[in-house]
Amino acid sequence: MKSSLSLSTAGFALLLAACSPSTVSDTETETAAATEAAQPAAASETATVNPLLTAWDTPPFDLIDSEDFIPAFEEAMASHIAEIEAIATNAEAPSFDNTLLAMENSGAELSRVGAVFWNLTSSASNDDIRAIQREMSPRIAAHSASITLNAELFARINTLFEQRDSLDLAPQQYRLLETTHQDFVRAGAQLEGDDRARFAEIRQGLAGLYTQFAQNEQADREAWTLPLSAEDLEGLPDYVVSAAAGAAADRGLEGHVVTLARSSVEPFLQTAPNRELREQAWRAWTTRGDNENANNNHDTIRQILQLRRELANLMGYETFAHYRTGGTMAGTPQAAVDLMEQVWWPARDRALEEQADIQARIEAAGLDHSVMPWDWRYYTEQVRAERYDLDPSEVKSYLQLDNMIEAQFYVAERLFGVSFNERFDIATYHDDVRVWEMTNSDGDVIGLFYGDYFARPGKRGGAWMSSFRVQNGINGDIPIIVNNCNYNRPAEGEPALLSFTDATTLFHEFGHALHGLLSQTEYPSLAGTSVDRDFVEFPAQIYEHWLAQPEVLERYALHYETGEPMPQALLDRVLAAQTFNQGFATVEFLNSGFVDMAYHLNTDPTSIDIHEFEQEVLASRENLEAIPMRHRSTHFLHTFAGEGYSSGYYSYLWAGVLDNDGFAAFEEAGDIFDPELAQRLFDSVFSAGDSQSAMDAYVGFRGREPSVEPLLRNRGFMDDAGG
């Protein structure tokens, strides 16, 4: 998820994405804490200045009240417009300094206000925050459009762009001019008359619909729980029982409940012997936003698709998919579809083999039903346990959250020479949140990292990275980055234990965080994760690979009671199981990718029947009934809660090609911390932001363009001989 919340230059065109509930990354990957916990503490009665409008080193959560947000937004937007008008009407001829640099320096107050507020809408929402979000999303969209559609401002940018080769610009200045011009053009700056006005209306309408979609999904998710009786708890592992007790306590309920947070429902589906309860949980999980209530998202989806199509047509594109992929590494919808097709059939073949294994287990148990979606995870875990002699509880006992956090820091230190030291004196928006300062080899603090790891009401599902402040080479501001995950909170006094998938998610999001923290660009609009959508997942996904390395696991996979390292035999089985069930995982993902792209290639979205459309797309590739979409349409936040991954869900697979090929370089070197490769990875990717094209960045690291073969091989779809 592209998470830059700066409102400078290129950030204008991305403002709508920042206003939506999604930022960088559900891991592939997925909400009101009690009002007292979710809402920042009230401001002092003696305060006369809105704390959101003051310059801060860290967000002043101990001073902010929800009533501060709308006045702060209004004042900050007014100041920003005044700054933009001064730039647009400057009597001097346009220059880099009086136009682009001035734009980079504008909107500081709005950046601060927005950074705090939009993070709270995802991490610590409540009724007040949601009401403000509904009001401000369209207003912020209108504000953004008033800038990107400012004819005088664009005329100055366009003049510089036409003269760019004669301006003697430094490389990052040249890149900033190119990306700013491109973003303004893609935001409608070249439209005229009624088309300009309609473009702004569409943007404003979409902003409201994105908020509506996300809030509908959240309302459906939080309204449902599955109470578990003492009989229902029989056969469930201790960690699932403990999580169910914690989920009930979080909601003020007695006993044990399963919720629709992925960290709650998925382990239940993997371990619950009661098939009827599994079906209940699975159906509730997959029908969020698809129920006959006020949270139904069918009409919202159709409205979003219709407005997106109209917007794309205004911009001269055949479909929204063409419009969106036009600014990515893929370049066209067909290129993205071709990649998915290349992986689909090998993945489907493997999934058929996996389904046969599951069916055999069902029949061996004397049952006569075929594999259904609520069966897959349950029997897969039995096959996994049998084939690799793995007990999930045993694996979790070696994967303490605190140790895995230290492991992610250790990898960063080995690769990039940075260290992390926890701070206890910085105000946060919730007691769960922890803060670390990142220092370089000289001991200088060069970034702050916030970690928010546990699921709770008021927090959206999934895992993501976002920013309270992006790195700014102009004024020296260090980045302030936050990771959110949704792990089950342990019982009082107990450690938080992770599955291997959970630990992979932790590393993934920290890869995003490092992309923001290590940024060393001159201009904030080029900083950190401000890169092509189908490149932004690469730093996160390549970072996952270090978790699975024996050198890391031997050091940090320590038993939570004895402190002993994971036995070599268990470690070997854990690593051997990494390609297990990859047919299912890839097919499930691609189902959502194909549907996402098909929606945005459709030229008559007003007539779409959501259920029929999903089924037609899946049937067109002979999908397996037992493997539906990873994210069904009505809760597909990536696609409909903002534009970040719309027509772009494929980007996780695109980045998968990059990360598997990229990590192969370290394997070929025989050293997972090879200093030369680590330096190239830092120089071309983690510190470079958007200072060069995505392919140039990858080639700068790898020395060549990527190959799809390592991905196919690592997922078990191709052997070392290429077959």
pLDDT tens string 317-354: 999 999 999 989 999 999 999 999 999 999 999 999 99
Residues 106 and 195 in one domain: yes
Residues 209 and 245 in one domain: no
- Taking a C-beta distance cutoff of 8 angstroms, is the pair 546, 552 a contact? yes
* pLDDT band at residue 11 under the 50/70/90 scheme: very low
pLDDT at 41: 41
pLDDT grade, residue 533 (50/70/90)?
A: confident
pLDDT band for position 377 (50/70/90)?
very high
What pLDDT score does 24 carry? 67
- Separation CA 95–CA 317 (nearest Å): 32
For residue 564, with 0-12 CB atoms within 10 Å meaning exposed, 13-18 middle and 19 or more buried, which class applies?
A: exposed
Burial of 104 (0-12, 13-18, 19+ CB in 10 A): buried
Q: Give domain status of residue 591, yes or no.
A: no
**74: annotated active-site residue:** no
Q: Does position 5 have pLDDT exceeding 80, yes or no?
A: no
Residue 532 class from Cβ within 10 Å (0-12 exposed, 13-18 middle, 19+ buried)? buried
Structural domain contains residue 278: yes
Do both 166 and 236 map to the same domain? no
Euclidean distance between CA atoms 633 and 301, whole angstroms: 8
Residues 99 and 243 in one domain: no
Across the chain, mean pLDDT equals 91
Average pLDDT rounded to a whole number, residues 703-717: 92
Higher pLDDT, 454 or 30: 454
Cα atoms in the 13 Å half-sphere on the side-chain side of 252? 4
Average pLDDT, integer, range 403-416: 98
Q: Where are the beta strands (DSSP E) in 19-65?
A: none
| pLDDT value, residue 493 | 87
Do 40 and 159 have their domain in common? Answer: yes
Same domain, yes or no, for 38 and 130? yes
Residues 123 and 253 in one domain: no
Instruction: Give me the mean pLDDT over the 629-657 stretch.
Output: 94
Helix (H, G, I), strand (E, B) or coil at 435: strand
Token pair in block for residue 211:
């908020």
Residue 142 belongs to a domain: yes
Query: Has residue 27 been placed in a domain?
Result: yes
Domain boundary among 158, 188, 217: 217
Domain extent at residue 257: 224-286
Q: Give the CA diameter of the chain.
A: 84
How many other C-beta atoms are found inside a 10 Å radius of the C-beta of residue 404?
24
Residues 243, 161 within the same domain: no
Structure tokens at 667: 């394997």
The pTM for the full model equals 0.89
Contact 451, 420 (CB under 8 A): no
- Answer yes or no: are the C-beta atoms of 251 and 217 closer than 8 Å: no
pLDDT in tens, 475-516: 999 999 999 999 998 888 889 999 999 999 999 999 999 999
pLDDT, position 29: 41
Res. 175 pLDDT band, cuts 50 70 90: very high
Query: What does the pLDDT read at residue 491?
Result: 82
Q: Between 39 and 391, name the one with better pLDDT.
A: 391
Same domain, 40 and 161: yes
The CATH number given to whatever domain includes residue 171 is 1.10.1370.40
CA distance 653 to 330: 11
Average pLDDT for 555-577: 94
131 lies in the same domain as 182:
yes
Number of helices (H), then strands (E), belonging to the chain: the values are 30, 7
Q: What's the pLDDT at 6? A: 32
pLDDT at 18: 37
- Collect all residues with Cβ–Cβ distance below 8 Å to 197 and sequence separation of at least 6: none
Residue 697 inside a domain? The answer is no
Domain C-terminal end among 217, 242, 270 = 217
* pLDDT at residue 204 in the model: 94
**Catalytic residue, candidates 28, 30, 222, 509:** 509
Put residue 650 in one of left, alpha, beta given phi > 0 → left and psi -120 to 50 → alpha. alpha
Q: How far is CA 462 from the centre of its chain?
A: 8
**For residue 695, is it within any domain?**
no
Q: What is the pLDDT of residues 428-450, one digit of tens each?
A: 999 999 999 999 999 999 999 99
Same domain for 158 and 251, yes or no, is: no
Is the model's pLDDT at 27 over the cut of 70? Answer: no
Domain boundary among 196, 217, 238: 217
Kindly compute the dihedral angle of the four CA atoms of residues 56, 58, 60, 62, in this order, to the nearest 10 degrees: -150
**Same domain for 234 and 206?**
no
- Domain membership flag for residue 508: no
Q: Give a yes or no: residue 571 inside a domain.
A: no
Instruction: Give, as one character, the DSSP assignment of residue 490.
Output: P
Tell which residue, 473, 471, 477, has the closest CA to residue 522.
473
Residue 576 has pLDDT above 80, yes or no: yes
**Number of domains the chain is built from:** 2
pLDDT in tens, 264-290: 999 999 999 999 999 999 999 999 999
> Is 328 in contact with 650 (CB distance < 8 Å)?
no
> How confident is residue 25, by pLDDT bands cut at 50, 70 and 90?
low
